[in-house]
Amino acid sequence: MATAIGAAAAAIHYDPQWWRGAVIYQIYPRSFRDTTGDGIGDLAGIVEGLDYIAGLGVDGIWISPFFTSPMRDFGYDVADYCGIDPSFGSFADFDRIIEKAHALGLKVIIDQVYSHTSDEHAWFQESRQDRTNPKADWYVWADPRPDGSPPSNWQSVFGGSAWQWDGPRKQYYLHNFLTSQPDLNVHNIAVQDALLDVARFWLARGVDGFRLDALNFSMHDPELRDNPPSGLPMAQVTRPFDMQVKRYNQSHRDIAVFLERIRATIDEYPGRFTVAEVGGPEPLAEMKAFTQGGKRLDSAYNFDFLYAPRLTAPLVRATLSQWSGDPGEGWPSWAFSNHDAPRAVTRWASDGDYARAARLNLLLLLALRGNPIIYQGEELGLPQGKVAFEDLQDPEAIANWPHTLGRDGARTPMPWQASAPQAGFSRANRTWLKPDPAHAGFAVDTQTSDPVSTLAYAQRILRLRRQFPALVSGDITLLDTPEDIVAFIRQQGENTVLCAFNLGDAPCAWSPPANWQNARLLATQSAVGDGGAMPDMLAPGTGYWAAMTGE
Q: Considering 34, 208, 213, 408, which one is annotated as catalytic?
A: 213
- Which DSSP string do the residues of 481-516 spell out, in sequence order? --TTEEEEEEEETTEEEEEEEE-SSS-EE----GGG
Do you know the residue count of the chain?
551
- The two beta strands, 542-547 and 141-142, are unpaired
| DSSP-derived 3-state class of residue 174 | strand
- Report yes or no: 41 and 33 within 8 Å, Cβ to Cβ: yes
Q: 166 an active-site residue?
A: no
Q: Are 37 and 55 in contact (CB under 8 A)?
A: no
Amino acid identity for residue 264 in this structure: A
| CB 274 within 8 Å of CB 261 | no
Q: Which residues contact 269 (CB under 8 A, 6 or more apart)?
A: 203, 204
**DSSP-derived 3-state class of residue 542:** strand
The residues with which 523 forms a beta bridge, in sequence order, are 528, 545
Residue 534 DSSP class = P
Q: What is the CA radius of gyration of the chain?
A: 23
Residue 277 is a catalytic residue: no
Number of separate helices (H) and strands (E) present in the chain? 14, 20
The DSSP annotation for 311-349 comes to --HHHHHHHHHT----TT--EEEEES-BTTB--HHHHH-
Phi (first) and psi of residue 268, to 5 degrees: -70, -15
CB neighbour list of residue 391: distance below 8 Å, 6 or more residues apart: 408, 433, 434
Q: Kindly report whether the peptide bond that precedes residue 402 is cis, defined as omega within 30 degrees of 0.
A: yes
Spot the catalytic one: 254, 268, 351, 505.
268
- Residue 452 has a CB neighbour count (10 Å cut-off) of 10
Please give the positions annotated as active site: 213, 268
